[in-house]
Amino acid sequence: MNVTVYNLFRNRTGGWEPVGWQPEPRIRGTWSILSNCIITILLCVWTAVHLNTPEYGGKTKQNIRKVGWLFVGVLAPELVAFMAWDQMQEAKKLTKNMRKAHKWTNLHSLYAIMGGFAFSSQDLPTNFLRDAPKRKTLTRTGLLLLARCDPQAIPNLSVTEIEDKSKADGFKKLILCLQAGRFLASTVYRMSTGYTITLLELNTMIYCICALFVIIFWWNKPLDVSEPTTI
């Protein structure tokens, strides 16, 4: 395909100058390095951070917590990765114990650990426990106690019902993995062939590695669940 580009501003009196197809420059500019690294870092941090379910009526606090954890993810991505690993280990232990009394998966455990189940007193008479909170999150220990004493009280949620509460599905998380993997592959290739990389690119590599670990550990954890399942 013959593509012709006209120079409109070089010489107004000399007529049109047809210019053929021009290849892209073989060197990287400052803007391309900055934009690529910043976009990758923000994408990694924003998608990787999975907050717990907010308290009753605490939507504003949840937004503040989201911003706070974004700063934590930027300043210490390895801390978020460690928390994801620790929560996944806790979820495996909960799944092992809950399967004895209830149909349970790691998705249910992650949903429970993030505050997905809560006791609600809204339907009780106003003169009963008047000063009690309207909603109280069920902890891991409380869930195990309830499963041992009254397993039928635990809502029988399906995997689909829990996944519907999440604001991000596997496809969105896959996009993050592809972006982080692409950046890692291109940077490692430059290092292996003797090309120089900037300190910003080296730091972005760390963000990508931490984000990949977080996504692996929290792949089944629902993202930004606004309301828990009440009991």
**Which one, of 207, 222, 170, 181, lies nearest residue 79 by Cα?**
207
Q: What is the dihedral of CA 207, 210, 213, 214, to 10 degrees?
A: -90
- pLDDT computed for residue 213 by the predictor: 93
Q: How far is CA 42 from CA 24, 108, 124, 213, in A?
A: 27, 29, 45, 16
Q: 77-91: per-residue pLDDT in tens?
A: 999 999 999 999 999
The answer, as to whether pTM is greater than 0.85, is no
Return the sign of the alpha-carbon dihedral for residues 134, 102, 171, 89: positive
What tokens does 17 get?
A: 């100058």
In angstroms, rounded to a whole number, what is the distance separating the alpha carbons of residues 168 and 170?
A: 7
Mind listing the pLDDT tens digit of every residue in the chain (231 residues)? 444 544 445 555 555 667 777 777 777 888 888 999 999 998 888 888 888 887 766 677 778 888 888 888 889 999 999 999 999 999 999 998 887 667 788 999 999 998 888 887 665 555 555 555 667 888 888 888 888 888 888 888 888 888 888 877 778 788 888 989 999 999 999 999 988 899 999 999 999 999 999 999 998 888 888 888 887
The H helix count followed by the E strand count for the chain is 8, 5
- pLDDT computed for residue 163 by the predictor: 86
In angstroms, rounded to a whole number, what is the distance separating the alpha carbons of residues 174 and 193?
A: 28
Q: 197-229: per-residue pLDDT in tens?
A: 999 999 999 999 999 999 999 988 888 888 888
Domain boundaries, the chain: 36-230
